[in-house]
Amino acid sequence: MLVLAGVTAMAMASCGGGGGGGTAAGDDKITMGFSQVGAESGWRTANTKSVQESAKAAGIELKFSDAQQKQENQIKAIRSFIQQRVDVIAFSPVVESGWDTVLKEAKNAKIPVILTDRAVDSPDTSLYKTFLGSDFVEEGRKAGKWLVEEFKDATGTVNIVELQGTTGSAPANDRKAGFAEVIQADPKFKVIASQTGDFTRAKGKEVMEAFLKAHPDIDVLYAHNDDMALGAIEAIEGAGKTPGKDIKIVSVDAVKDGMQALADGKINFIVECSPLLGPQLMDLAKKVVKGEQVPARVVTEETTFTQEQAKQALPSRQY
């Protein structure tokens, strides 16, 4: 996951225009193959829109492929982009592991790869040019810091349940780790149950229902995204409890529906994760195709929202 600046810059010097996907001699229109994770959440929908609109605005021809949250589909899509000799491949890896073979194939074909949104865990950083996306560990820490502050006067145990994102994905691994790092400072914080809800509303609801049955004494829900929190809210209300009061909720993303629930008092705090990566992705793609130097890591800037801040931000929220 850690990428040292400068390493890829050296490797880049030998890699020029990629596969030459232009349609005619002298046509320098860039063709990008983009393999998206799926359509699992409000975040993802906003991200897809951002990528598609930005490609259009940048004059980049986009070959878009939806992997329906399956790694095998992403690998197939990348192989097909290599065959079509696109100029640049961008993708958001559904899980962190298992990419080396296909990324080596792209490298051998001299087609540069950009990671967007999620990282891979390969130690060979020459397999991609740059990684554009959020710092998920920091997001987890922000959620943990809010919790520590919110419960600073609590004397007894604080029982936490956690809805994890897709198993093996960078945001699930990192949001869990960042949160755990912060709350472990005080033994009164106990994660009594932690399971994947696959970043979807339906799974968030289903798993929360099971949590509520098994644990009558839940104080806090930490959801790795808003959609799972929204599903869980239905489960909590279904169990006759009040979300935001009986059970405090902290989640990540700050998509519109999440922000609305925050403003309505059903969620207590949201850590922002911006899906609007399209414009930066297109800039990076143009540079990479020209063989220009790009930073090995581009981190998205983000904030956090309280209920009051959500009320103010909602009218102008883009996603």
> Please, are residues 116 and 89 in contact by the beta-carbon 8 Å criterion?
no
Size of the site for ligand GYE (CB under 6 A): 13
* 43 forms part of the interface with ligand GYE (CB under 6 A): yes
- Residue 182 has a CB neighbour count (10 Å cut-off) of 18
Task: Report d(CA 274, CA 286) in Å as an integer.
Answer: 22
> Please, are residues 250 and 271 in contact by the beta-carbon 8 Å criterion?
yes
Among the listed ranges 39-47, 96-104, 151-159, 206-214, the one in contact with ligand GYE (CB under 6 A) is 39-47
* 179 forms part of the interface with ligand GYE (CB under 6 A): no
Among the listed ranges 41-49, 120-128, 264-272, 300-308, the one in contact with ligand GYE (CB under 6 A) is 41-49
What DSSP string runs through 9-38? HHHHTT--STT---SSTT----EEEEEE--
Sign of CA dihedral 35, 70, 205, 217: negative
The three-class DSSP label of residue 251 is: strand
* 118 forms part of the interface with ligand GYE (CB under 6 A): yes
* 250 forms part of the interface with ligand GYE (CB under 6 A): no
**Interface pick for ligand GYE out of 8, 30, 35, 44 (rule CB under 6 A):** 44
Among the listed ranges 36-44, 52-60, 74-82, 290-298, the one in contact with ligand GYE (CB under 6 A) is 36-44
Task: Report d(CA 47, CA 132) in Å as an integer.
Answer: 13
Going by C-alpha positions, the residue among 74, 79, 107 that lies closest to residue 91 is 74
* 199 forms part of the interface with ligand GYE (CB under 6 A): yes
* 225 forms part of the interface with ligand GYE (CB under 6 A): yes
* 273 forms part of the interface with ligand GYE (CB under 6 A): yes
Q: Which is nearer to ligand GYE, 31 or 47 (CB)?
A: 47
**Where is 306: in which H helix or E strand?**
none
Q: Which residues bind ligand GYE (CB under 6 A)?
A: 40-41, 43-44, 117-118, 171, 199, 225, 227, 252-253, 273
